[in-house]
Amino acid sequence: MYVNTNYQAHAADSNTDTQNSTKSTSDMFMQLLVTQLKNQSPLDPVDPNQFVNQLVQFNTLNQIIDIRSLLEQFANTAAASGKAMPAVQGEK
């Protein structure tokens, strides 16, 4: 069985890039949130529900990114083994 190692190497690099991007985005979001909390006006504090909503939305986004990454890994593994697999929508 012929396995295209260039494809596997590219897929592994792409997966690592996605994980690094997600980590840096997560770090930036938390830094922004902490800065926002530190610099809010004591006389007019921000509604805590707003922060909870932001955290929930960001967590949902991270979960969607993780699911996409897992689907890409599954598709890459299936492609490497020679089995037919439909393309992940939005894939370049």
| Structural domain boundaries in the chain | 5-81
Instruction: Determine the Cα–Cα distance for residues 48 and 84; give it in Å rounded to an integer.
Output: 49
Cβ proximity of 85 and 72 under 8 Å:
no
SS3 label, residue 87: coil
Q: What is the mean pLDDT of residues 3-15?
A: 52
> What tens digit of pLDDT does each residue of 30-74 get?
888 888 888 888 888 878 888 888 889 988 988 999 999 999 999
Instruction: Supply the pTM of this predicted model.
Output: 0.52
> For the segment 20-31, what is each residue's pLDDT rounded down to a tens digit?
666 777 788 888
Average pLDDT in the chain: 75
Residue 18 identity (one-letter amino acid): T
67, 73, 63, 83: which is closest to 12 by C-alpha? Answer: 73
